[in-house]
Structure formats: C-alpha cells, structure tokens
C-alpha cells in the first residue's frame, strides 16, 4: 500500500466526462461534498469553457486534474504546461517520450506532472498491434522509471501494475489508477485492464479515477459516497 499521505476523501478523483461545461457544473452541484477532486479531460476541453470551468471548480475549493495527455514537440509541451501554473491545478498528464516528459517537468511550476504508462483501455492484443512485444508489466515499469528520471511526479497506471510499481520504483512516485469498476468488467466497456476500489489501493495506488460508475448511476452522489466509504475503510479515515 502507498506511503504517501493524502486526505482520504481526496483519493477519489471523479472523471467529469460530460458533453459541456454547463452539464459539468450541474453534476458537480449534485455531487456536492461527496467529491473533492475532479478530472477534466479532452471532451470538455473541446466543448468550450474549459478554463472557466476549471477556475469555477478551484474557486469552490475543489482539486482539479487536467487530463489532456500532452503529446507534441517538447517546446510546445513546455509552453502548454507553463500556462497551467498558478491557477490551482493539482495534476496534469503528459504522454510521450523522454524529451516530452522532461520538457513538461521543467515547466511544471506548482503543477504535478503525471506520465501515462500504458492506457487502461489497451490489452495485450492492442499492444501487439502497436508493436510492443514486451510484457505489459515490464513496459509499465520501464516507462515509470523513465518518467521519474525525467522529473515527473507520478504516473497513470492500471491497478494491475500498481504493485509492481511500488516494488520496482521509488515509493515517492504518485500512482493514479483509472479503470476502476465496482463489479466485474462488461464486454461493452472500453476499459479492459480494471480492478475494484479496494484492490487498487491494496496494490499501491494513491488515487483512483472513477467515471461512469458514478456518472451513470441512478444516484451519482450516493455512488460517490459508497466509494468514499470503501476508501475510508481501507485507510481508516483521513490521513
């Protein structure tokens, strides 16, 4: 299990994957204090009003994770990351080679940079298609070590590989785990390498990212509180 001290209710990051900023504001109001940390991704960025929404959430005391997976020439990535500083952003993601990760880390300021290892929507067959013949765990471990060397603060990784990261990389590395499902994965789900809440933290995750199990629930706030209760049980309350 992770040794990084984080308030228990901030360990849940809700993936605000909705069509527009107004829908996001309404859902955030409905969720209230059941969610303290939000991930704002590409769909919202392309819908317009992204930074106004970001500022609105920060103004309400929420933590924000900018998940845009920056991938471009290093100078462009550095400029993009620099534009996120001093506006209350906690995490931002980068997805690329050593030069891209180093550029993001150099420009990060008060933003913590998380490097993507292997997307949780990819399985062994997908990696074969992309030309990665190595074992998934070895690939994740290699990318995590390179991210740490580049100056990144943490990684995005499946809960399936979190234990390997805790054993093979510095304990100070922040591990954020998407692909969390409270029940066995379904064929229609585009997330393939998944774990449940307790498994993710037992394997060493610092945060879990949960989207559809909250967003699509009949009672989103109740679903979020149920996950918070599980987290509280795992960690024994706030840390």
Query: Are 137 and 167 within 8 A, CB to CB?
Result: no
Checking DSSP bridges between strand 112-116 and strand 89-94, what pairing results, if any? Answer: parallel
Query: Are 155 and 168 within 8 A, CB to CB?
Result: no
What's the CA gap between 126 and 131, in Å, rounded?
9
Per-residue pLDDT tens for 113-139?
999 876 554 455 555 564 555 566 677
What's the CA gap between 121 and 59, in Å, rounded?
32
> What distances in angstroms separate CA 20 from CA 25, 33, 48, 211, 236, one per listed residue?
9, 21, 7, 15, 36
Question: What amino acid positions are annotated as catalytic residues?
Answer: 69
Query: Could you tell me the fold of the domain covering 8-235?
Result: TIM Barrel (3.20.20)
Per-residue pLDDT tens for 31-75?
999 999 999 999 999 999 999 999 999 999 999 999 999 999 999
The residues spanned by each domain of the chain are 8-235
Determine if the pTM surpasses 0.85.
Answer: yes
Angle between helix 159-168 and helix 136-150 axes, rounded to 10 deg: 60
């Amino acid at each position: 299990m992770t040794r990084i001290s984080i308030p228990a209710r901030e360990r849940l990051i809700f993936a605000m994957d909705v069509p527009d900023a107004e829908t996001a504001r309404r859902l955030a109001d409905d969720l209230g204090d059941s969610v303290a940390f939000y991930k704002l991704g590409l769909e919202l960025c392309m819908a317009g009003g992204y930074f106004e929404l970001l500022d609105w959430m920060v103004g309400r005391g929420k933590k924000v994770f900018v998940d845009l997976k920056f991938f471009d020439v290093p100078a462009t990535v550095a400029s993009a990351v620099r534009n996120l500083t001093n506006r209350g952003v906690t995490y931002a993601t980068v997805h690329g080679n050593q030069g891209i990760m180093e550029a993001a880390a150099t420009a990060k300021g008060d933003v913590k940079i998380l490097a993507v290892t292997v997307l949780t929507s990819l399985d062994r067959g997908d990696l074969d298609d992309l030309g990665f013949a190595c074992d998934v765990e070895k690939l994740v471990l290699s990318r995590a070590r390179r991210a740490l060397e580049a100056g990144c603060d943490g990684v995005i990784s499946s809960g399936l590989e979190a234990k390997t990261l805790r054993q093979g990389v510095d304990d100070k590395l922040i591990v954020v785990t998407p692909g969390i499902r409270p029940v066995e994965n379904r064929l229609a789900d585009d997330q393939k390498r998944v774990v449940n809440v307790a498994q993710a933290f037992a394997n060493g995750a610092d945060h879990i990212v949960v989207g559809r199990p909250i967003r699509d629930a009949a009672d989103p706030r109740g679903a979020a509180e149920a996950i918070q209760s599980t987290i509280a049980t795992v960690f024994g309350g706030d840390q």
